Amino acid sequence: MQFNSIYVRSLAVVSLFLGLNACNSTSEPEPSQPYDTGVFVLNGGNFFDNNGTISLYNPTTKTISYDVFQKENTRALSGGVAGYTEVDGKGLILVDNSTNGSDAVEIVSARTFKSVATIKDLENPRSVIKASTNKAYVVCWDVLNPDYSYKLGYVAVIDLTTNKITKKIPVQNGAEGIVIVGNEAFIGNTSYSGIKTITVIDISKDEVSGTVASAGAASNLIVDANNKIWCTIGKEIVRINPTSKVVETRLTAGTSTTKSPRNLTLNANKTAIFFEYSFSDSSDGYKQKGDIFSFNISDATISTSTSLIKRAFTGFGFDAKNGIIYGGITPSYKQAGYVIRYQTNGTLIDSVKAEIAPNGFLFK
């Protein structure tokens, strides 16, 4: 790359002016940017300290850069990190501040992590997803009622060409978790919401087009290789047909009376699902205890006789490109947590110190 360094430099300057379209205007090799590859670790932070961060882990050099938003923008995220995704060259960070009225979506350039825009007009953002080209959906709780119950939630539609919210689509109370199948978005709920429906949104119209009766609060939504939706409902893991909008299969995660499934995560070809089966142990100081298991999407039952990893995590992810499992550990919300890496068979690889409360990953 040395020989065309002048070209590289000039492109970098031009790309600043042309923004995201610059990369489409030429077939010449692009300069690599610091955030092109790696594992983003989403650190929730301690709620009242408003100190959520994103770290970037480089699995090749096994080094980690902390608080990359601060590093690139000389200002910190002003709240906890509730989610991150990338849409057409932009990264959307959901920021949850402990004061009502101060939440935000920070939009950064996905390749440089430089701030592009800040959107403030939303409350308690919980999940973000790419809806279509230059369009993102952010699922929000809105502010809680004075008795901490959930108001009607909404999906904020963000136009990434203007970096503005174009619409808020009202959805069910405690809305959280979103997947997209075809032209429809399916919005789940927090398990505490008591809501027994999944809302369906027509992406082309940005309107609610229907619901799925889910028999309980549907959480941890994912989409498998056959375009079927999987989620957890209470102690069950269920499969939903997004076309007929009915629950097709209900699998009991295990026989335990105390444990519940959570953190559903797909393998590389989306044919198997990892999940955590855990509980808060009242006989041992209410520590969260459990195991990671996996099952195949074609399995008729789920076996929890042999665990993959004997541990519960605050965050769980699978690096499909390299076939590595990532688990987040939070010793307390006032000290840095750790990310522990495992092979797909559950063999421990190594661990790295992250930041406060690592609870999510994005692999690129």
Partner 1 sequence: MSLVVYSVRSRILFSLVGLVLPLFGYAQEIANKQIDEVKVTGFATEHFMAGLKVQKIDSATLARFQFQTLADFLQFQSPIAFKSYGSGQLTSISFRGTSAMHTAVLWNGLNINSPMAGQTDFSTVPVLGFDEMSIQYGSAASCVGTDAVGGSILLSSVPKWKQKGTNFTIGGQYASFDNYNGQAGLRFVKISKSGLQFSGKTLLYGSQFNNHFNATERTDNTGRTYPIEPSETAQKGFIQDLYLKKKNGNTLSLNIWLTDNKLAIQPDVIAFREITQSKAYRVLSAYQFGNTNVKAGFIKDILDYGTGDFLNPSHSETDRYIARAEHEFSIKKKDSFQQTSLRIGGEFVHYVAKVDGYGGGSITESRQDVFALLRQQFTQKLTASLNLRQAFSTRYVAPFTPSFGLEYAVISNEKTQIKLTGNIAKSYRLPTLNERYWKVLGNINIQPESGLNKEVGANWKQVVSANLNASLGVNVYHNLIDNWTYWNPDKGYRVENLQQVLSQGFEITGSIKYLKDRILGGVLATYAYTDASQQKVYDVYAVDIIGKQLIYVPLHTLTGTAYVGKGDWSLNVQGLYNSERFITFDHSGRPFPSYFIVNSTVSGKIHFGKIQSNLIFQVNNLTDTVYPSVRKNAMPGRSFSLGLVFSGNVFNH
For residues 171 and 155, what is the distance between their CA atoms, to the nearest angstrom? Answer: 7
Is 76 a binding residue for partner 1 by CB under 8 A? The answer is yes
- By beta-carbon proximity to partner 1, the closer residue of 152 and 225 is 152
**Are 215 and 239 contacting, i.e. CB atoms less than 8 angstroms apart?**
no
Q: How far apart are the first and last CA of the chain?
A: 22
In the sheet where 63-65 sits, what is the strand order? 63-65, 53-58, 39-43, 358-363
Which H or E element spans position 329?
strand 324-329
Indicate which single residue of 14, 286, 296, 303 sits in contact with partner 1 (rule: CB under 8 A).
Answer: 286
* 351 contacts partner 1 (rule: CB under 8 A): no
The neighbour count for residue 323, using CB atoms within 10 Å, is: 11
Q: Is 285 a residue that touches partner 1 (CB under 8 A)?
A: yes
- For residues 113 and 91, the answer to whether their CB atoms sit within 8 Å is yes
Instruction: Tell whether residue 238 is a contact of partner 1 (CB under 8 A).
Output: no
Q: Is 114 in the site for partner 1 (CB under 8 A)?
A: no
Q: How far is the CB of 119 from partner 1 (least distance, A)?
A: 15
Helix/strand/coil for 99: coil
Among 15, 50, 124, 278, binds partner 1 (CB under 8 A): 50
By CB under 8 A, tell whether 183 contacts partner 1: no
- Kindly tell me which of 176 and 355 has the beta carbon lying closer to partner 1: 355
Q: How far apart are CA 203 and CA 205, in angstroms?
A: 5
Contact call for residue 96 and partner 1 (CB under 8 A): no
Residue 48 near partner 1 by CB under 8 A: yes
Q: How far is CA 245 from CA 43, 181, 192, in A?
A: 34, 11, 23
Amino acid found at 331 = P
Residue given tokens 């690096």 in the structure block: 319
Residue 115 is a binding residue for partner 1 (CB under 8 A):
no
Minimum distance from residue 186 beta carbon to partner 1 (Å): 28
Any idea what DSSP says for residue 4? G
- Under the binding rule (CB under 8 A), the answer on residue 70 touching partner 1 is yes
Query: Segment near partner 1 (CB under 8 A), from 229-237, 239-247, 254-262, 332-340?
Result: 332-340
Closer CB to partner 1, 5 or 100, in the complex: 100
Query: Which residue stretch of 201-209, 228-236, 240-248, 286-294 sits at the interface with partner 1 (rule: CB under 8 A)?
Result: 286-294
- CA gap 254, 334 in Å, rounded: 34
User: Where does this chain bind partner 1 (CB under 8 A)?
Assistant: 48-51, 53, 66-67, 70, 74-76, 78, 97-102, 123, 143-147, 280, 285-288, 329-336, 338, 353, 355-356
